[in-house]
Amino acid sequence: MRKRVLVVDDSAAMRTLVTTTIETLGDFAVDEAKGGVEALSLLNHAAYDIILLDINMPDLHGLELLGFIRSNPRNKATPIILISTESTERDREKGLALGASAYVAKPFSPEELAAHVSRLAGS
Amino acid sequence: MTSSLVGGIEDFLAEAQEIVDHLSSTLLAVDQGTKSGGVDPDLINTFFRHAHSLKGLAGMFGQTEVGGIAHHFENVLDALRLGRVRLDRDNLDLFYETIETFHAQLAAVAGGPAHGRDMDALTARLDAAERSKAPWQKSGLPRVPVEPAIAEVLSEYEEHRLRENLARGATLYDVRVAYEVTAIESGLSGMRERLKPVGEVIATLPNPIPGDDVRLEFRFIVGSVVPEANVAAALFGSGAVVSVLPLVTITPTASAATGAGAATEAGAGKGAAAANVGADPGVAAGAASAPPSAGDNVPISLRSVSQTVRVDIARLDSLMNIVGELVLAKAGILRVTERLKGEPELGHLAVELHREYRILDRRVAELREGLLEVRMVPLSTIFDKLTRVARSISRSAGKSVEVVVSGADTELDKLIVEELSDPLLHMLRNSIDHGIEAPETRAARGKPPAGRVELRAYQKGNHVVIEVADDGGGIDPDGIRKVALERGAVTQTRLAEMSARDLLNLIFLPGLSTKSEVSELSGRGVGLDVVKNNIAKLSGVIDIDSEPGRGTTFTITLPITLAILPALIVRSAGQVFAIPLSSVLESIAVDPSRLHRLAGREVVTLRGVTLPILRLAETFGFGPTRPITSAANTWYVVVVGIAELRLGILVEDLAGQQDVIIKSLGKMLSGARGIAGATELGNQEPVLVLDVAALVEEALRREVAA
């Protein structure tokens, strides 16, 4: 069965990059959200198998979105990969404390991202 | 990284260019903020986010040079938004330079010439700026004193803003509101707009509502000094529920115990104690009474190196108002003195009083001058910024333009300087975008390849003149004629009899200066009419001179200050008006028989020059100018002029000269044309102050339309 993935990032170029990386891995259906608000409505209606979340977004902060996902029954247990640059170290720690499964620092190699996604997708 | 996974260089350039443009405009807004006394923390955070995005983007596309600078830039901005690096002039300059470097780098990536900039030097300077940050302990930063459900999802930056709000004594409010999933975006932006005047939105937390599939709840954590009832009133009708967010006491963690312990003892009350926990080093230094232990990186002296004080301009305004009241009181004393002089047995007292009055008069004048001087800032504050922006504009336009500045030390009222940056920027853009020709055209015309734009300023009496001159293609009169006719701005007959100057001035009419093709540089739809209105609001006048093929010069004439001005007091139809003396050229008694009509306009001929006449009483609807009753009576024509324009204002009486302080008429009348504001004279009667620039313009507009 196709795994559903949600990519949340405010950068169009980053979204394309992440989506391309995931799609080359195999049978994934990827949804993209260009910010926290758009992600909220997607998350309220669909259950995802993996969520990739950028921390720094202008409309809603990634940590707050993470808090939302963790308190919403629909995606409570979905593995989450946080994507951000290494400078926001405290944010990364808090994200992992909130139950993010993995953290990928920008710039990342597609192989690194692919490894995380494959592992979490159980394939 | 496999290159097949990475999008083309165009993808990178498109987004990187957009981010760098955002960085530029944000920096301008930040710079503006520092000059008007406060930068919105949100703006700094936006600035940081853009740098952060650029770094991430560059990293993914293997643009190591851009990424490297962006990385160091982001570190400085991160420290800045967390309050650990100061936003001073040096840093602002460094930021401008960094953004210019990004532009140069992107141009090189896009296939342009190598930029030849010294990356190591810039990196070193960015590092130095970051290292100047206040020391802090990385580990053991205590939790913020709010319920764990909130504390654990706040980002580091939000934690910092929350502490800052507590440190400034703000109350934290918990504003809850639910939106349907489809209406989240508009709901959030509407709520943020409503909360803006109330305080700072520190965080926005989404929450699912159990059993509700259609709606989500949002909690806005807002820092505000406004009482709860007022917050609730501001949100009335929005469906939001407001409560005060309780502060919780945090048990200090081991590593933070030393500093925070002292603060907790010192602070009284739960709010204060909680607020001090984990405040920034700078804030905590004041509260911590324990002597610093050896090895701590504590500055030797807390005394500030700077000898300057930043003052909110509103305070200067209120001081100026007090001076205004002193001037009124002074006028009252003078009246009493005059009355005393008439009493035979009190004559000697009148003389003494008059002597004291003169001393008071001198001191009040000195006080006023001193206050005015404080408000003055050199134009260099905006000229510097404009030259920097000009460089990046010319780069995006693919033109080589040299910006030459003179008279940057000319001083003007701070408020005027602030309001000038937008119109000047617009004119500069105009010059570079539309004025300066493409390099090939310049070569064909035998001009040097680099275009030249001059920003000149000088003082002329009570005015400051600013010129923006380019050596570009000039304005084509036929082009103006064509557009003016197309848009129905003038009739064919009127056009035929227009002088070259009148024709040029048509480009200030709404819609006339908007190019048919949208230019990315000069903005969309904002024409010179907007520039003209902005200048008029400052009681200034804009003028244009252009020679096809040789260039265009815009000239702005502005009063030095708007705060106080000497005025001529006149009467018409029983009303008293004040005319700013700076625009009065002369006043002449005229016999009504010398007034006559020419082409439907009332005019008077003075020394062979025909002058249009404006009857003050009629203009403002106070009834007709009073007829002359006795042969001895005459009317007066006050000749006013702005730039090359002249107008005669017909009044019945001149009542002398006096300093007035213009007070705004408030919102109701702020749009009234021809009125700059109101003032009081010694007898406490309100008097309208004329806006000469607007009156002259109005009169001439009628002439154009006629």
| A17 contacts B208? CB cut-off 8 A | no
Contact flag A87-B11 (C-beta cutoff 8 Å) = no
Long-range contacts, stretch B299-302, CB < 8 angstroms, 24+ apart: none
Locate B610 and state its tokens.
């025909």
Token match 């009063």: residue?
Answer: B559
| Cα gap B392→B387, rounded to integer Å | 9
Q: What are the residues whose beta carbons fall under 8 Å from the beta carbon of B372, sequence distance 6 or more?
A: B413, B561, B563, B564
Q: Give backbone dihedrals phi and psi of A24, rounded to 5 degrees, phi first.
A: -70, -15
Q: B263 pLDDT exceeds 60?
A: no
- Preceding peptide of B281 cis, ω within 30°: no
Q: State whether the Cα torsion B193-B199-B202-B204 is positive or negative.
A: negative
* CATH number of residue A37's parent domain: 3.40.50.2300
Distance CA B210, CA B197 (A): 32
A88 Cα to chain B: minimum distance (Å): 8
CA dihedral B99, B102, B104, B105 (to 10 degrees): 170
User: Chain A residue with minimal CA distance to B209?
Assistant: A72
Closest among B383, B302, B385, B284 to B27, alpha carbons compared: B385
Contacts of B78 in chain A (CB under 8 A): 87-88
Beta-sheet strands, E only, within B276-400: 376-378
Answer with the residue of higher pLDDT: B305 or A103: A103
Nearest CA in chain A to B47: A58
Chain A segment 6-45 residues within 8 A of B by beta carbon are 10-14, 16-17, 20-21, 24, 36-38, 40-41, 44-45
CA distance A81 to A112: 12
Chain A residue numbers touching B49 (CB-CB < 8 A): 56, 58
**pLDDT for res B671:** 58
CA–CA min distance B386, chain A (Å)? 29
Domain count, chain A: 1
Where does B36-88 have alpha helices with state H? 41-60, 64-81
CA B480 to chain centre: 31
Is the pLDDT score of B28 beyond 80? yes
Q: What share of chain A is helix, strand, coil (3-state, %, to 5)?
A: 45, 25, 30
State how far residue B59 is from chain A, nearest Cα, in angstroms: 5
Supply the pLDDT for residue B582: 76
CB contact under 8 A, B53 and A11: yes
Per this entry, what is the length of chain A?
123
Mean pLDDT of B353-363: 88
CA distance A26 to chain B (A): 15
Q: Closest CB to B57: pick one of A13, A44, A110.
A: A13
Most A-contacting residue of B155, B179, B217 (CB-CB within 10 A), to test interface: B155
Least confident of B132-141, B303-312, B507-516: B132-141
Closest CA to B660 of B325, B176, B354: B325
> In a mutagenesis test of the B interface, which of A10, A45, A63 is the best target, namely the one with the most B β-carbons within 10 Å?
A63
Q: Which of residues 93-122 of A touch B (CB under 8 A)?
A: 94, 97-98, 106-110
For B587, B655, B691, the CA distances from B578, given in Å and listed in that order, are 14, 10, 9
Mean pLDDT of chain A: 85
A 38-97 near B (Cβ less than 8 A): 38, 40-41, 44-45, 55-56, 58-68, 71-73, 84-85, 87-88, 90-91, 94, 97
Q: Which domain holds residue A31?
A: 3-121
In a 3-state reduction of DSSP, which class is residue B441? helix
How close does chain B come to A40, measured CA to CA in Å? 8
Pairwise CB contact (< 8 Å): A13 & B61: yes
Question: Given an 8 Å threshold on Cβ–Cβ distance, is B181 in contact with A14?
Answer: no
Question: Do the chains contact at B152 and A94, CB–CB below 8 Å?
Answer: yes
Strand partners, B542: B556
- Please compute, for residue A58, the number of CA atoms within 13 A of its CA located in the half-sphere on the CB side: 17
Size of interface A-B (CB pairs under 8 A): 123
pLDDT in tens, B150-191: 888 888 888 888 988 988 889 999 999 998 877 888 888 889
Dihedral-angle region of residue B458 (phi above 0 means left; psi in -120 to 50 means alpha; beta otherwise): beta
Look at residue A53 in the predicted model and tell me its pLDDT.
92
In eight-state DSSP terms, residue A77 is T
Looking at every residue in chain B, the average pLDDT score rounds to 78
How large is the ipTM?
0.80
Report how many helices (DSSP H) and strands (DSSP E) chain B contains, helices first: 23, 22
How far, in Å, CA of B120 to CA of B101, rounded? 12
Please, are residues B451 and B471 in contact by the beta-carbon 8 Å criterion?
Answer: yes
**Subunit contact A59:B188, Cβ cutoff 8 A:** yes
Reported confidence tier of residue B82, pLDDT bands at 50, 70, 90: confident
pLDDT at residue B705 is higher than 70: no
Task: Name every chain B residue with its beta carbon within 8 A of the beta carbon of A98.
Answer: 152-153
Cβ-nearest to B49 among A13, A16, A56: A56
Alpha carbon distance B51, B649 (integer Å): 57
Strands B675-680 and B686-690: antiparallel
Distance from CA of A1 to the nearest CA of B (A): 25
**Per-residue pLDDT, B703:** 60
Query: pLDDT per residue over B509-568, tens digit each?
Result: 776 664 543 343 343 335 787 888 888 777 778 888 888 888 999 999 887 776 667 789
Q: Is the pLDDT of residue B692 over 80?
A: yes
Q: pLDDT for B271-296, tens place per residue? A: 333 333 333 433 333 333 334 344 44
DSSP letter at B212 equals -
- Report d(CA B672, CA B689) in Å as an integer: 12
Give B26→chain A minimum CA distance, Å: 14
Q: How far apart are CA B85 and CA B135, in angstroms?
A: 10
Q: B289 CA to chain A: closest CA distance, Å?
A: 29
Over the stretch A35-60, which tens digit does the pLDDT of each residue have?
A: 888 898 888 888 899 999 998 888 88
Q: What local confidence, expressed as pLDDT, does residue B292 receive?
A: 39
Percent of chain B with pLDDT over 90: 10
Nearest to B26, CA basis, from B44, B53, B41: B44
CA quadruple A62, A65, A70, A75: dihedral sign:
negative
CA A56 to each of CA A5, B143, B145: distance values in angstroms, whole numbers, following the listed order:
19, 21, 23
- Rounded to whole angstroms, the Cα distance separating A62 from A82 reads 8
Return the bridge partners of B588, or none.
Answer: B637
Rounded-to-integer distance, Cα B272 and Cα B268, Å: 6
B375 or B92: which leads in pLDDT: B92
Q: Is the pLDDT of residue B585 over 90?
A: no
Residue of B481, B439, B659 lying closest to B567 (CA atoms): B659
The residue of chain B nearest to residue A90, with distances taken between CA atoms, is B156
The number of angstroms, rounded, from the C-alpha of A86 to the middle of its chain's C-alpha atoms is 16
pLDDT band at B133 (very low <50, low <70, confident <90, very high): low
Q: Which two tokens stand for residue B283?
A: 């804030």
B493: confidence class by pLDDT, cuts 50, 70, 90: confident
Note the pLDDT of residue B517. Answer: 39
Summarize pLDDT for A75-107 with one digit per residue, the tens.
888 999 998 876 567 788 888 888 888 888 877
